[in-house]
A and B are shown apart, each in its own frame.
Chain A
Amino acid sequence: MLVLDAVLSGLVLGGMYALVALGLVLQFGVARIMNLSYGEFLVAAAFGAFFTFSLGAISPILALAFAMPLAFAANWLVYRVLMTPLVARSRGNAAALEADSILATFGLLFVVQGVMLAFFGGQYFSYSYLSEPVRVLGSVQSLNKLVALGFAAVIGGGLYLLLTRTRQGTAVRAVAVSPGAARLVGIDVLATSAFAFALGGALVAAGGVLVSMFLTFSATAGVTFTMKALIVVIMGGTGNLLGCLVAGLMLGLAESLVATFVDPGLTIAANFALFLAILLWRPQGLFGRAAR
């Protein structure tokens, strides 16, 4: 009972971590944009869900249907307008692109955050949706977190199939592995990177909408999500989808087990110990770089 509670809570929490990090796998792993404004886009989606729910009474699940295409378009534009000049300037030098994109998205972070502050102010926002108890194998969990876990699994699984079973997905993986060689086999690297970045953006929006169901957020909360996503992505192996899911679940489980059986005060220490141990044991992340 005690173990079951802890494991289920850990899986649910880990699902949330994975969900929050999925978009960054594509943006960093494939498009090679170290997007520091990642969390801000997540919070923007959370605001969208808050207002469609509290003003329009539209369920956040339904809001996903609007938020994801919208975020796809917005992120595609960001890539085309802001990132393409950086990509052109880097001439295939991944390190240069990483440094430039860090600076550019650092600026973008303040722009997006500033716009949100101007519109919504700095105070906390929270609403209640599907916050109902559900019995799973005798352990009580809240429905909205289970829904988020379910979406993390569906989105992660769907993305995995998309990447491994389709032509476009194969192109995305080729770009993730080697942008230079991808060009040689006739892949439009720029278009594929833009697609991956935009798809990542759509996943961020999904993450934002889903976590807004149970997390209290504010216009300035973005950086905590960016940090969490970074840890998960680096732990799983940059650009590796499966690694991201496993890393997210591991962090969630570790946190929940430590909180239940050791001390809730040590959860962050446990998470970083795990992170450090994995970096020492496998510097390239759990599953190495992008899956081929």
Chain B
Amino acid sequence: MISRRSALAGLGAAGAVATLAPTRTVRAQPAPIRIGWAVSRTGPFAGGAATTVIPNYEMWAREVNEQGGIRVGNARRPIQVVEYDDRSNSEEAVRAVERLISQDRVDFILPPWGTGLNLAVGALLNRAGHLHLAVNSVTNRVDDLGRRWTNAFWFLGRSSSGAEALVAQLAAMRQAGQITPRVAMAAVSDQFGVELANAGRAAFRAAGFDLVMDRNYPLGTTDFAPIVNEAARANPDAFVAFSYPPDTIAITDQARVLGFNPKVFYTAVGTAFPLFRDRFGANAEGVMGIGGWHADSPALRDYMRRHMAFANREPDRWASSVTYSSLEVLAQAIERAGTIDRAAVIAEVAKGGFDTIAGRTEFAEDRVRRGTWWVGQWQGGEFHGIAPANLPGARAAAFPKPAWRG
């Protein structure tokens, strides 16, 4: 396994490429399957990549090689990894993927973290006929890209589905007489936040909710006192923030300090991170967020144990296990196809029917995976999936959110 940990990003990137020449020492072994990835080791996306993507890629590669590799026909072939740092920069990501395709000539490429980077490298992967397992990429552009990029599979789906699932959950609570139609909404002005907010706004209106606050804030905002104060003054029954990880922490903390405790408190990306529970302890209880998982599933419990042993920390409760399941899909598709021919493997992935830690993986017509968790809630120190309610393991929402403790 050749892995380039880019501790010194930007320094000697070209020099490092030269050292990436494959080292084939053992001749008796079958040729390895070369797998490449370019993910954000540095830059603003490093936090997301380090939480959700990197431990899973590394753990999977090690586990597969410990088992002797992936079975192709009669032989087991080990995995050889080529890795680059995209520095959270889309031009850099495109360059790295180009290098993986034409210079390193890898057999399969694993995608970066984040919608923007996935879209940036998507066209290139499509043109080269490479499989694109787009996991950490949630966007409404699946509508038009899904038709054109027949090599791409969308594991989490559209952002509008996320907002609509949340609104459906709140509408059910309203139906049950638990909350009034008063909803306060805030969203980060960045791709995913804006898409969620647009879909959320439309869905709230359509469901007859009264948006008593509707605000955007710029990416990188650190002070949320004005927003939380305004939300508190509007006196809503539900507070919804389509936020990113640092904002999720800051907004929740600000609400706690100001004693703003609506019956439903929802923050988006980052709520499912173990960091959230570690940071807020008992105060995490009852907070809803984007994501969730089937916490009682034996396969996921085993995954949690392996992840702890490998990375010395817990996985996040949304995209981590889905990322890992996408790698299981890749391995099973190769085994079923009996070849590493990319077109054959892509055709095999499209057939679906994979048994993974995230359950049975099937794709819809538009190659969007079925069964994405959209709303989760911290209940007793675990982030359980609560919506869509028809998924296996879905819990009922705990209501109302308990008061903040000091």
Q: Mark B292-325, 1 if CB is under 8 A from A, else 0.
A: 0000000000000000000001000000000000
Q: Mark A263-275, 1 if CB is under 8 A from B, else 0.
A: 1110110000000
Determine whether A110 belongs to the interface, using a CB cutoff of 8 Å to chain B: yes
Which single residue of chain A is at the shortest CB-CB distance from B42?
A220
Determine whether A193 belongs to the interface, using a CB cutoff of 8 Å to chain B: no
**Min CB gap A40→B, angstroms:** 11
Determine whether B226 belongs to the interface, using a CB cutoff of 8 Å to chain A: yes
Determine whether B367 belongs to the interface, using a CB cutoff of 8 Å to chain A: no
**In whole angstroms, what is the CA distance A9 to B42 when docked?**
32
Knowing A127-B279, A132-B257, A215-B246, say if A114 contacts B221 (CB, 8 Å). no
Determine whether B11 belongs to the interface, using a CB cutoff of 8 Å to chain A: yes
- Point out the residues of chain A lying under 8 angstroms from B273, CB to CB: 124
Determine whether A178 belongs to the interface, using a CB cutoff of 8 Å to chain B: no
The residue that A122 contacts in the complex, of B10, B42, B249, with Cβ under 8 A, is B42
The residue that A264 contacts in the complex, of B8, B215, B246, B256, with Cβ under 8 A, is B215
**In whole angstroms, what is the CA distance A114 to B10 when docked?**
10
**In whole angstroms, what is the CA distance A115 to B225 when docked?**
34
- Point out the residues of chain A lying under 8 angstroms from B7, CB to CB: 114-115, 117-118
Most buried by B among A13, A118, A121: A121
A110 touches B10 (CB 8 A): yes
B225 touches A268 (CB 8 A): no
Determine whether B275 belongs to the interface, using a CB cutoff of 8 Å to chain A: yes
Which single residue of chain A is at the shortest CB-CB distance from B221?
A267
A122 touches B226 (CB 8 A): no
The residue that B223 contacts in the complex, of A114, A123, A125, A256, with Cβ under 8 A, is A256
- Point out the residues of chain B lying under 8 angstroms from A259, CB to CB: 217, 223, 226-227
A224 touches B46 (CB 8 A): no
B216 touches A265 (CB 8 A): yes
A122 touches B279 (CB 8 A): no
**In whole angstroms, what is the CA distance A220 to B217 when docked?**
22
Knowing A126-B249, A131-B256, say if A264 contacts B10 (CB, 8 Å). no
The stretch that binds A, out of B21-29, B47-55, B152-160, is B47-55
**In whole angstroms, what is the CA distance A224 to B220 when docked?**
8
B11 touches A218 (CB 8 A): no
**In whole angstroms, what is the CA distance A216 to B10 when docked?**
25
- Point out the residues of chain B lying under 8 angstroms from A84, CB to CB: none
Determine whether A98 belongs to the interface, using a CB cutoff of 8 Å to chain B: no
**In whole angstroms, what is the CA distance A256 to B222 when docked?**
11
Knowing A124-B246, A128-B280, say if A6 contacts B47 (CB, 8 Å). no
**Min CB gap A46→B, angstroms:** 13
Determine whether B189 belongs to the interface, using a CB cutoff of 8 Å to chain A: yes
Determine whether B250 belongs to the interface, using a CB cutoff of 8 Å to chain A: yes
A265 touches B259 (CB 8 A): no
- Point out the residues of chain B lying under 8 angstroms from A142, CB to CB: 253-254, 257
Q: Mark B250-285, 1 if CB is under 8 A from A, else 0.
A: 100110111100000000001001010001110000
Knowing A9-B223, A123-B275, A220-B47, say if A114 contacts B246 (CB, 8 Å). no
Which single residue of chain A is at the shortest CB-CB distance from B283?
A128
- Point out the residues of chain B lying under 8 angstroms from A219, CB to CB: 46
**In whole angstroms, what is the CA distance A279 to B215 when docked?**
30
- Point out the residues of chain A lying under 8 angstroms from B220, CB to CB: 224, 268
Determine whether A214 belongs to the interface, using a CB cutoff of 8 Å to chain B: yes
Determine whether B245 belongs to the interface, using a CB cutoff of 8 Å to chain A: yes
Determine whether A161 belongs to the interface, using a CB cutoff of 8 Å to chain B: no
Determine whether B218 belongs to the interface, using a CB cutoff of 8 Å to chain A: yes
Determine whether A5 belongs to the interface, using a CB cutoff of 8 Å to chain B: yes
- Point out the residues of chain A lying under 8 angstroms from B225, CB to CB: 5, 9, 12-13, 141, 256
Q: Mark A14-32, 1 if CB is under 8 A from B, else 0.
A: 0010000000000000000
- Point out the residues of chain A lying under 8 angstroms from B5, CB to CB: 118
**In whole angstroms, what is the CA distance A110 to B85 when docked?**
13
B229 touches A123 (CB 8 A): no
**In whole angstroms, what is the CA distance A210 to B217 when docked?**
24
Which single residue of chain A is at the shortest CB-CB distance from B9?
A110
B11 touches A260 (CB 8 A): no
B50 touches A123 (CB 8 A): yes
Determine whether A140 belongs to the interface, using a CB cutoff of 8 Å to chain B: yes
- Point out the residues of chain B lying under 8 angstroms from A122, CB to CB: 40-42, 46-47, 49-50, 54
**In whole angstroms, what is the CA distance A259 to B189 when docked?**
14
Determine whether A212 belongs to the interface, using a CB cutoff of 8 Å to chain B: no
Chain B residues 14 to 63 lying within 8 A of chain A, measured CB to CB, are 40-44, 46-47, 49-51, 54
Which single residue of chain A is at the shortest CB-CB distance from B225?
A9
- Point out the residues of chain B lying under 8 angstroms from A13, CB to CB: 222-223, 225
By Cβ-Cβ distance, the 3 closest A-B pairs, closest first, are A122-B50, A122-B46, A259-B226
Given contacts A16-B222, A216-B249, 11 further A-B contacts (CB under 8 A): A5-B229, A13-B222, A111-B8, A114-B8, A123-B47, A124-B245, A126-B249, A218-B47, A252-B223, A255-B223, A260-B226
6 contacts between A and B (CB under 8 A): A114-B6, A114-B7, A115-B7, A122-B54, A123-B50, A131-B253
